[in-house]
């Protein structure tokens, strides 16, 4: 089971992958520039740890409270990945 966690509600954009054996984390400053490249940052992270989007079983996304634009972008991308790849999407609140 491979889980992806996306949390952009706070001062950093955090991506976490949790597998049965290990967990991997990366973070980036919560800025407009990073949101313009949000998907690219996520894909670089997955490529670095050698996991494909199709390998992911569940996506967890932080629904807030937090910055509106940060939450909107992270949720939109999580929903798009979930919908396109038939991956379960679960929201949580911090």
Q: Tell me the pLDDT tens digit for each residue of 2-28.
A: 999 999 998 999 999 999 999 999 999
Q: Tell me the pLDDT tens digit for each residue of 55-87.
A: 999 999 999 898 888 899 999 999 999 999 999
Name the token pair of 27.
């973070």
* Rg of the Cα atoms in the chain: 12
**pTM (2 d.p.):** 0.91
Q: Of 45, 2, 9, 43, give the one whose Cα is nearest residue 25.
A: 45
């Amino acid at each position: 089971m491979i889980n992806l966690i996306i949390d952009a509600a706070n001062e950093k954009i955090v991506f976490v992958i949790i597998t049965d054996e290990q967990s991997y984390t990366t973070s980036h400053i919560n800025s407009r520039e990073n949101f313009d490249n949000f998907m690219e940052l996520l894909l670089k992270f997955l490529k670095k740890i050698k996991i494909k989007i199709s390998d992911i079983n569940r996506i967890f996304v932080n629904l807030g409270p937090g910055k509106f634009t940060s939450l909107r972008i992270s949720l939109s991308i999580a929903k798009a990945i979930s919908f396109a790849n038939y991956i379960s999407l679960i929201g949580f609140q911090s």
